[in-house]
Amino acid sequence: MREYVFERPGTVGDAVRRGGSGTAFLAGGTTLVDLMKLDVMTPDRVLDINRLPLRGVDTKGGGLRIGALARMSDVAADPLVRRGFPVLSRALELSASGQLRNMASIGGNLLQRTRCGYFRDVSTPCNKRQPGSGCPALGGENRMHAVLGTSDSCVATHASDLAVALVALDAKVRLRGRDGARTVDLRDFYLLPGTTPHLEHDLRPGELVTDVVVPRLDWARHSTYLKVRDRRSFEFALSSAAVAVRRDGDTILEARVAVGGMGTRPWRLTAVENALVGRRASEETYAEAAATAVDGARPLRHNAFKPELMKRTLIRALLELEQTR
């Protein structure tokens, strides 16, 4: 780990003024510290923001507001989240380990870097880490890599479970920078790799995530998150699905669907949603809708199983959601 300046700003405004190029914000540290040890991230200055008033969960605005410094375990256990947005609670509980969830912040989870082994190994090329150096995952070990939203420059999978659930619910992130505050749809906040995979999100230098806001959705209580992985705990998704459904009897009136483990960013499946609406809730309907999920998928040598796994994950998630009604 290289030398750096360590500071503790006392206010959000102070943190933003001190932030900028070469500066990293430290919350739970569960991602940043690891990457600094590996020399993947080498900030000149680290700002500890844990004292800032950016915690808490409330529904004062009609929807759900989550402070960026709220710990994952606290949000997962919050009654407002568990009752009104079980897909969020479930996604958080299936993330990392209990110890990490006790430390990791909501903002840090949404900004975590990919778990691609080539990105984390500074002895190998990586366009995300060093633009223009190449992407060895294209022809190398790529079992865990993305099949949606990929490019010839990067096929790294987005790692956050929570982000998948939030994208399904049309969540927004509130940001604070030197030019003031702004709000961005989380779905648009994450950028496709294209030819610039080192640009992962619409976060300007020195800008800070302050809150996550989920619009009011009364039927979000009929939602769940399913995660398929190689082992039961502390493992990233091979495939995951966030689903929420509003029904009138057996007829599906509205649906929200997003998947993880498949894309270079959390992947909203509007084609699947459209294929569900107006149909009778049944395994046959779910299978027909899930078949549209793989449109545009680009499997690689070692992850050719993923499109089929994505379809099966969606069907299983929808069937499990029926059992909770």
The answer, yes or no, to whether residue 129 has pLDDT greater than 90, is: yes
pLDDT band at 323 (very low <50, low <70, confident <90, very high): confident
- In the prediction, which pLDDT does 81 show? 98
Q: What is the CATH number of the domain that holds 261?
A: 3.30.390.50
Q: What is the pTM of this model?
A: 0.97
Position 220: which residue type?
A: A
Q: What is the dihedral of CA 149, 153, 157, 160, to 10 degrees?
A: -90
What is the number of domains present in the chain? 1
CA-CA distance, 230 to 237, in Å (whole number)? Answer: 8
The answer, yes or no, to whether residue 72 has pLDDT greater than 80, is: yes
Domain hosting residue 272, numbered range: 223-323
- In the prediction, which pLDDT does 55 show? 97
**Does residue 247 lie in a domain region?**
yes
- Average pLDDT of the residues in 5-26: 95
**pLDDT tens by residue, 242-297:** 999 999 999 999 999 999 999 999 999 999 999 999 999 999 999 999 999 999 99
Angle, nearest 10°, between helix axes 86-93 and 161-168? 170
- In the prediction, which pLDDT does 234 show? 83
**pLDDT tens by residue, 136-160:** 999 999 999 999 999 999 999 999 9
Q: Determine what percent of the chain is predicted with pLDDT higher than 70.
A: 100
Position 297: which residue type?
A: A
CA-CA distance, 205 to 172, in Å (whole number)? Answer: 19
**Does residue 77 lie in a domain region?**
no
Closest to 310 in 3D by CA, of 249, 278, 262: 262
Tokens of 24: 């990293």
The answer, yes or no, to whether residue 122 has pLDDT greater than 90, is: yes
Mean pLDDT computed over every residue of the chain: 96
Any idea what DSSP says for residue 291?
Answer: G
Q: For residues 165 and 87, is the Cβ–Cβ distance under 8 A?
A: yes
Q: For residues 15 and 35, is the Cβ–Cβ distance under 8 A?
A: no
**pLDDT tens by residue, 218-243:** 999 999 999 999 998 889 999 999 99
**Does residue 66 lie in a domain region?**
no
Write the DSSP assignment of 60-72 as a string of letters.
Answer: TTSSEEEETTSBH
**Does residue 252 lie in a domain region?**
yes
Q: Tell me the β-bridge partners of 24.
A: 46
**Does residue 245 lie in a domain region?**
yes
Closest to 155 in 3D by CA, of 119, 183, 107: 119
**Does residue 42 lie in a domain region?**
no
Return the sign of the alpha-carbon dihedral for residues 137, 101, 95, 277: negative
- How far from 119 is each of 1, 183, 192, CA to CA, in Å? 17, 29, 16
**Does residue 11 lie in a domain region?**
no
- In three-state secondary structure terms, 8 is coil
- In the prediction, which pLDDT does 232 show? 83
The answer, yes or no, to whether residue 61 has pLDDT greater than 90, is: no
Q: For residues 242 and 214, is the Cβ–Cβ distance under 8 A?
A: no
- In the prediction, which pLDDT does 76 show? 98
Q: What is the dihedral of CA 304, 310, 312, 313, to 10 degrees?
A: 140
- In the prediction, which pLDDT does 45 show? 96
